[in-house]
Amino acid sequence: MVILIQINFEEYDVAVKIKEEKDIVVARQMVKDIARRLGFSLADITKISTAVSELARNIYRYAKEGFIYVKEKKEGQNVAIEIVAYDKGPGIENINQAIMGGFTTTKGSLGLGLSGVRRLMDEFFIDSEVGIGTVVIVSKRRRSF
């Protein structure tokens, strides 16, 4: 998993360990607070927090434990929020199938988690290796009004 070597987790402003179901709520609230502080619209705050909720739930459900990392990115007037979901879980056998939507390995799930995250955010990257873990990196740019 080459990408894991390239991420410097110390650059991130906040980290939330996902180990219990309540940690999903903590991660969601944390990212909402950061997005609000950065001046994101209510619609974009909702999209960002929904994406984090899905990513954290996937960590809890499949890997049992992992992290959500968040940082703000500023380049001149451009502001974005970047989120990394990282775990050392079982990995994803077929990434393309997992991000298509409608595919799930969990009974009762619609299989819309990763495909939904991809639609909600401006940038989406995933790397996964079976038996090693998964990393998902997403970002959302603040819209100008």
Domain segments of the chain as ranges: 2-141
Please give the pLDDT value at position 109.
45
Pair of tokens at residue 140: 């959302």
CA 98/CA 94 separation, integer angstroms: 6
Amino acid, single-letter form, for residue 22 = K
Tokens of 86: 């990282």
pLDDT in tens, 67-122: 999 999 998 889 999 999 999 999 998 888 888 865 555 544 434 589 999 999 99
Global pTM value: 0.89
Task: Give the integer Cα–Cα distance in Å for 46 and 51.
Answer: 9
CATH class for the region spanning 2-141: alpha beta
DSSP per-residue letters across the chain:
-HHHHH--GGG-SEEEEE-STHHHHHHHHHHHHHHHHTT--HHHHHHHHHHHHHHHHHIIIIIS-EEEEEEEEEETTEEEEEEEEEE-SS--S-HHHHHHSS--SSTT--S-HHHHHHHHSSEEEEEEETTTEEEEEEEEEPPP-
Better-predicted residue by pLDDT, 113 or 5: 113
Is the per-residue pLDDT at 141 higher than 70? yes
